[in-house]
Structure 1
Amino acid sequence: MLNKLSLQIKLTLLTGCIIILVTTCLTGISIGNFGYSFSIAPIPALSVTPVGGKDINGSLNEKAPSHDGRMAALEKAKQDFAARSIIWMMLIMIIGIGMVYFILGKALKPMTTLNTMIKGINEHNLSTKIIISSKDEVGSLAESFNIMLDRLNRSFENQKQFAANAAHELKTPLATIKAGIQVLKMDEAPSVNDYKENIDITEQSTERLIKVVDDLLNLNSTKNEHFAGEIALQEVIEDILNELSIFIDERNIAVSFENCEHTFIGNKSLIHRALYNLIENAVKYNGSGGRIQINSEMIETVILIHISDTGMGIADDELPNIFEPFYRVDKSRSREIAGSGLGLAIVKSIVEKHKGQVRVRSEQGVGTTFSLQFSSNDSDLG
């Protein structure tokens, strides 16, 4: 029952109980003290002149009060005092509780305003700001709620952008496959070469679809990975360079690595994937005849891995967005350079799973350096 009452009524009832208790106690104490004072007070001496006799002045004393009469008068006064005290107590209770309810209403008005404004916010107006003029706890709560709304708004926008980009990446190869089929259907007598060409295009588009789907699954994977394996950094880098050797030779890129003899704790397959994505990007976005330099350093229990290239570089205003899924720096070359646009997002996800950090420094026309930071202590991975 109490759960259905408003906060103002709950506080009023609580304060009212305190007021009733205090006023009742004070009234009881005052009535008790009044009676006690009269009970111990000496009764004034009565005239010894009998009723109907003469007083010291020689006149008749026909109305001299008796001892019982005086006691009755005192008892009546006591009862009157108690009655008036109880009446005043009831008035003080009623006025006090009414004042508490009124004051609480004023004090809780910002809370009511905040509640009304929050009810009016939905997914379509998350950018709305809640403005509360008070500087107390309610104002602080409104400010914190505005910060939460900003985060939610960014999250919703990122989800919308992600969905749009994912749909675009999936739609492009599907549209290519459909176009090839339509061309074949329009040709009344397609040749074997036409079929072979269409099959090749379909295969390439299918592989691209599979890569996008696989990357999406890896990006959003929540399964528990084993992070207690020992990783030899140089061995991982050598394996990656062997895998990319054909592309490195095609672009005539010089690759060097040094100080990579360190070992650290983590999931070897995930670390391999993260480093592969970064080195592959360093090859794809590098100029012909460019250079790639890989090195690492150990600082106490922290290992830093640096991958630098002499590629096209990234503009400063685009750096904060490069780890977003499907974000492409050079959109004019996004179709010329193979990839799903999820490589760096996967790198960030893997690094965060290892409770590490990834940083990037870049200068357009000079090159880019990615730095990964991991702990060499398995206890840090929890």
Structure 2
Amino acid sequence: MKHLSLQWRITLLTALLIACACVCMNLLLYRTGVTGMDALNGFMMQYQPGSADPLTIEIPQEEMSSLLAHFSQEVYDAKVVFGRKGWCITVVVTIVSAAIAYFVSGRALKPLQQLAQQAQQVDQDSIATTRLDENTVQEFGQLSRSVNRMLDGLAQSFELQRQFAGNAAHELRTPLAILQTKLELFAEEHPAMDSETAGLIRSLREQLDRLTALVRTLLEMSNLQSVSRTDQIALAPLVEEILTDLTPLAQKNNISLQQDCEELGMVGSDALIYRLVFNLVENGIKYNRPGGAVRVTLQQEKQTAVLRVADTGPGIPADCRESIFQPFFRVDKSRSREMGGVGLGLALVREIAVLHGGSVTVERSSENGTTFAVTLPLAQPC
């Protein structure tokens, strides 16, 4: 019962109540009708010619026994038909009532279904703007107000978290820059240092580079909302520019870059869309097999531009295909450290896509490679 929807629960309970009422009424009517029929049958069986009763029936004596037997059979048949019709009526009334209850309860629960659809649209990216409709039935209106207050609190918490990350990253930039400068000066002033010290300096500089990249990405993510998104962007030239910029990295990793892009345009932030495509292609190069390829395609599907970045890497496990868009998540932590990743590249890609009214998903993934699909709204024709 607990797995049934509320509409089906109301329907079944209503049908059960009506069935019980019909059964009780049917038993009462059957009992009353049968009692009357039996009384009439008993009167006929006990009637004797010449009785003082006012009713007089002139029947020949030799036909009396046959008449009484026939009359008893007719009474029995009438009771059977009466009972059968009563139970048929009970079944029909129960089924019709259940159907009426189903449709009536569905109409009564329609506001709840609308609230459920609105609630399904709420996620961490739209939590600040999506609110449930409070102008509805009193009980559901109270539920909507409660949920909206909860969403306001969550949106405020997310905003405070975003501000904290941005402020912390901003404050970390200065000491990191000072440390990096001091290490570079130390290396220049001590060219003849021993191998152990040189290894230590090299390791410190690598970790500082990782921290600097992390801080830079955190700052970008915290400031996304404030970036202007009014640029007219030609997507095909943008992809070509990114592939040109990443050609040295691809050659270093023995990866070939391919593209097949339609001439499509959109309105948004040129810098952010550049970063979105750059991160996807860079990941395709880094997490690929030697001698592999990264293919970028761009085509129009309905009213959206669909950008696909396909690589020939080892693929992403099925249980990680949603988590990879969460901050600091890594499929292979040891390899990510080796590549210098901080676990924010795909999180930033998702933030940028959602900010422009689009989305990003893992369209397919296997041991032969992975394809990321990004949908972005096309520019409306003037």
Tell me the TM-score normalised to structure 1 length. 0.50
Question: Given the superposition, is the C-alpha separation of residues 362 and 331 from structure 1 closer, same or farther in structure 2, using an over 3 Å criterion?
Answer: farther
Q: Partner residue of 1:345?
A: 347
Q: Which protein has the larger Cα radius of gyration, Structure 1 or Structure 2? A: 1
1:310 aligns with 2:324: no
Measured in 1, the distance between the counterparts of 2:243 and 2:297 equals 14
1:152 positional shift: 8.3
Match of 2:369 among 354, 367, 370: 367
Measured in 2, the distance between the counterparts of 1:228 and 1:137 equals 42
Q: Partner residue of 2:211?
A: 209
Contact 2:314–2:369 under 8 Å retained in 1: yes
Q: Partner residue of 2:259?
A: 257
Measured in 2, the distance between the counterparts of 1:213 and 1:337 equals 17
1:301 positional shift: 3.6
More helix by share: 2
For residues 96-148 of structure 1, give each alpha carbon's deviation from its aligned partner in whole angstroms, at most 9, with x where no partner exists.
Answer: xxxxxxxxxxxxxxxxxxxxxxxxxxxxxxxxxxxxxxxx9669957996899
Measured in 2, the distance between the counterparts of 1:267 and 1:147 equals 31
- Report the AA paired with residue 325 of structure 2: F
Measured in 2, the distance between the counterparts of 1:151 and 1:364 equals 40
Measured in 2, the distance between the counterparts of 1:354 and 1:332 equals 33
1:223 positional shift: 4.7
Measured in 1, the distance between the counterparts of 2:356 and 2:366 equals 30
For residues 194-228 of structure 1, give each alpha carbon's deviation from its aligned partner in whole angstroms, at most 9, with x where no partner exists.
Answer: 44333322222211111000111111215532222
For residues 34-85 of structure 1, give each alpha carbon's deviation from its aligned partner in whole angstroms, at most 9, with x where no partner exists.
Answer: xxxxxxxxxxxxxxxxxxxxxxxxxxxxxxxxxxxxxxxxxxxxxxxxxxxx
Aligned residues: 226
Question: Given the superposition, is the C-alpha separation of residues 150 and 315 from structure 1 closer, same or farther in structure 2, using an over 3 Å criterion?
Answer: farther
1:149 positional shift: 7.4
For residues 292-322 of structure 1, give each alpha carbon's deviation from its aligned partner in whole angstroms, at most 9, with x where no partner exists.
Answer: 1111112354211111111111111111211
Q: Partner residue of 1:229?
A: 231
- Report the AA paired with residue 267 of structure 1: S
List alignment gaps of at least 5 residues for structure 1: 1-135, 182-189
Measured in 2, the distance between the counterparts of 1:194 and 1:319 equals 42
Question: Given the superposition, is the C-alpha separation of residues 269 and 305 from structure 1 closer, same or farther in structure 2, using an over 3 Å criterion?
Answer: same
1:350 positional shift: 0.8
Q: Partner residue of 2:379?
A: 377
1:374 positional shift: 1.3
List aligned pairs for 1:326-345, cutoff 5 A: 326-345=328-347
1:156 positional shift: 8.6
Measured in 2, the distance between the counterparts of 1:351 and 1:297 equals 16
- Report the AA paired with residue 369 of structure 1: T
Match of 1:283 among 266, 276, 285: 285
Question: Given the superposition, is the C-alpha separation of residues 147 and 327 from structure 1 closer, same or farther in structure 2, using an over 3 Å criterion?
Answer: farther
- Report the AA paired with residue 296 of structure 1: L
List alignment gaps of at least 5 residues for structure 2: 1-136, 184-191
Match of 1:243 among 242, 245, 248: 245
